[in-house]
Amino acid sequence: MIEIKQLAKQYGNIQAVAGLDLIIDAGEIFGLLGPNGAGKTTTIRMLTMLTRPSGGSAFINGCEITRDLGRVKKEIGVVPQHINLDLELTARENLELHGRLHKMPGAERRRRIQELLDYVELADRAHDLAGKFSGGMKRRLMIARALMHRPGVLFLDEPTAGLDPQTRRKIWDLIRRMNGEGMTVLLTTHYIEEADALCRRVGIMDRGRLIALDTPAELKKKVGEIVVEAHKQGETEYRFFTGREQALEYAGNLTKNVTIREADLEDVFVELTGRKVGD
Ligand SMILES: Nc1ncnc2c1ncn2[C@@H]1O[C@H](COP(=O)(O)OP(=O)(O)O)[C@@H](O)[C@H]1O
Ligand SMILES: [Mg+2]
C-alpha cells in the first residue's frame, strides 16, 4: 500500500530523514516510534506532499508522491501533529470546508458530515465552534475531517500527544475501529505503550534512520524477553534473557537488589540506541 525507497530530506546540514526504505501493507496499523527530532514528522510530511523529498521516492497505492499529486491526495487522509482546525468555524463547518475542497457534491457532503460526526461522537456538538473544544474533541474532529473524502490510507502524526489517558484510549479505539473497517494506518508516536498497544509492526526511528523494524513481540524477543534489573547505589544495570530460568539463575548469583520482569518496547529502544525515548 505504501512503498518507500531511499526517501531523504535534508534541511541545510541537518539530515532529517536519511534514506528510508519501508513497505507498509494494506490494512495494517504501522507505527513510527522515536524520540523528538528522529524525523517522524518529516517522513509524514513528505508522504503527504507537504514537503518535497531531497531524494528517493514513495508510492501510495501505486502512485508516486511527487508525480501523481492529484491521485495521491484522493488516496490519503492526514491528521497533522499540530491542531490546524479553523477554530472560528463550527465542527460541521470545518468538515464542510474540507468536503468542498475535495469537490464533494452537496448531498454526499451533508450525508458524510452527519455520518462522521456520529462516528467520532461529536454529533451533539456539530454547531459549536471548534475553538471551544477540548484537546481530545479537536483531535477527533481532525480525524473526521481526514476521513471526509473516504481515503484508503490515514496518516496520523502523534495522534494522542498531550491527551489524558482516558482520551488517549478513546482515540486508540477509534483508530482500531477505522482499521477494522479496512483503513491502512501509518502513525507516529513517541509513546512506547501506544506503539505496543496499537501497531501490528513498529519501525524505530532515530536520527533520521530506521534502526529496527518488526512486530512489538519480535522486537522484544530480539533483546530478550526477560529483564533482570540489578540496583546498586542508585545505578541500575540491565541484563536481557530469552528464558525465565536463565534470568533466575543469573539473578540468584547477584548480591545486589534485583527486579525480574518482562521486557517492553522501551527496553528495545534503550538497547538499540543506548538512550531513553524521552532523552
Ligand atoms: N522546516 C524545518 N527546517 C529545518 N529543520 C527542520 C525542519 N523540520 C524539521 N527539522 C529538523 O529535522 C529533524 C527531524 O525533525 P522532525 O521530523 O520534526 O522529528 P520528529 O517528528 O521525529 O520529532 C530535527 O532535527 C528538526 O529540527
Ligand atoms: Mg514530530
How confident is the prediction along the chain (279 residues), in pLDDT tens digits per residue?
A: 999 999 999 999 999 999 999 999 999 999 999 888 999 999 999 999 999 999 999 999 999 998 988 899 999 999 999 999 999 999 999 999 999 999 999 999 999 999 999 999 999 999 999 999 999 999 999 999 999 999 999 999 999 998 998 999 999 999 999 999 999 999 999 888 899 899 999 999 999 999 999 998 888 888 788 989 988 888 888 888 888 899 999 988 887 789 999 888 888 888 877 765 555
Q: Whose CA is nearest to atom 18 of ligand 1?
A: 41
Neighbours of ion ligand 2 (CB under 5 A): 40-41
Q: 36 CB less than 6 Å from ligand 1?
A: yes
Q: Give the H/E segment covering residue 72.
A: helix 69-75
CA–centroid distance, 41 to ligand 1, in Å, is: 7
The whole-number pLDDT of residue 277 equals 54
Distance 40 CA to ligand 2 centre (A): 5
Indicate the pTM of the whole model.
0.89
| 184 CA → ligand 1 middle, Å | 25
- Judged by DSSP in three states, 155 sits in strand
SS3 260: strand
| pLDDT value, residue 127 | 98
Ligand 1, atom 7: closest residue by C-alpha: 11
Look at phi and psi of residue 62 and say left if phi exceeds 0, alpha if psi is from -120 to 50, else beta: left
CA-32 nearest atom, ligand 1:
22
pLDDT value for 117: 96
Which residues does 164 contact at the CB level (< 8 Å), separation at least 6?
A: 136
What does the alpha-carbon distance between residue 112 and residue 277 come to, in Å, rounded to a whole number?
39
State the pLDDT at residue 192. 82
Residue that the C-alpha cell 534470568 belongs to: 247
The CB of 160 under 6 Å from ligand 1? The reply is: no
pLDDT at 278: 53
Q: Report the length, in residues, of the chain.
A: 279
Nearest-ligand number for the alpha carbon of 159: 2
State which of 15, 42, 207 you would mutate to test the pocket of ligand 1, scoring each by most atoms of that ligand within 8 A of its C-beta.
42
User: Which protein residue's CA is at the shortest distance from atom 26 of ligand 1?
Assistant: 37
Determine contact, residues 158/118, Cβ cutoff 8 Å.
no
Query: Of all protein residues, whose CA lies closest to atom 16 belonging to ligand 1?
Result: 39
Ligand 1 near 34 CB (within 6 A): yes
Atom index in ligand 1 nearest the CA of residue 17 equals 14
Q: pLDDT value at position 275?
A: 62
pLDDT of residue 271: 80
